[in-house]
Amino acid sequence: MHPAPDRAETAGLADAKRALRRSAARVRDRLHREVADAGELIVARFLARWSPAPGTAVSAFWPFRSEPDTRPLMHALVAGGATVLLPVVAGRGRPLEFRAWLPGDVLETDGFGVRVPGPDALAGIPDWLLVPLLAWDADCYRLGYGGGFYDVTLASLRAARHVRAIGIAYDGQRVERVPRGPLDEQLDAIVTERRIITQGEPADASPVSR
């Protein structure tokens, strides 16, 4: 068990994360302008490494602000027979809920400005999760937006079954070390337009055909 952090440690961690979020958001905004084909490169790299079996439930995320465009990968997963889900915030401190998505579905805008399936969409439980982030490091830790939704969700899912969590990012979002605490969940891998980083394995920096 991890020892409970004291108040000073908790405050210091929160301050470090807030500072990194500010700089990381600026970096990602710049990369979004500079790496226009990131979505296509990410889908090519992902599918060269993994091919979820038909029927596998994969939680993706609709691109928000300067996140890489995940829609090419979502379409490819559906074409391969996977069930694509999109996350929906159920409330502060609660795990995310997941609703099915198909190309052409009409989406709603939630209170955070994110596009999500409506309440009539079928609910699901993911086997794989594609996870957004502001920064990542070589240990496969991510810096999120501060709500803790993915950490709570991954902890809940992992307590019950095996799931695979993969960060989707620009390569330039890497930092030396993401500030982390005992409640921060480690990802299984990071996929960027340039490489795949997996826990315990060397980074794959092989080129992807454009």
Model confidence over 85-126: pLDDT tens digits? 999 999 999 999 999 999 999 999 999 999 999 999 999 999
Model confidence over 110-168: pLDDT tens digits? 999 999 999 999 999 999 999 999 999 999 999 999 999 999 999 999 999 999 999 99
- Would you say domain 7-198 falls under CATH 3.40.50.10420? yes
Model confidence over 49-93: pLDDT tens digits? 999 999 999 999 999 999 999 999 999 999 999 999 999 999 999
CA 55 to the chain's CA centroid: 20
The Cα–Cα gap between 74 and 90 comes to 22
Distances (CA, A) of 136 to 16, 21, 101, 153, 166: 14, 11, 27, 18, 11
Angle value at C-alpha 125, between 122 and 128, nearest 5 degrees: 125
The Cα–Cα gap between 168 and 190 comes to 6
Angle value at C-alpha 17, between 153 and 174, nearest 5 degrees: 85
Q: Is the pLDDT of residue 209 over 60?
A: no
Q: Is the dihedral angle over the CA atoms 111, 152, 62, 60 positive or is it negative? A: negative
- If one counts every other C-beta atom within 10 angstroms of the C-beta of residue 172, the result is 15
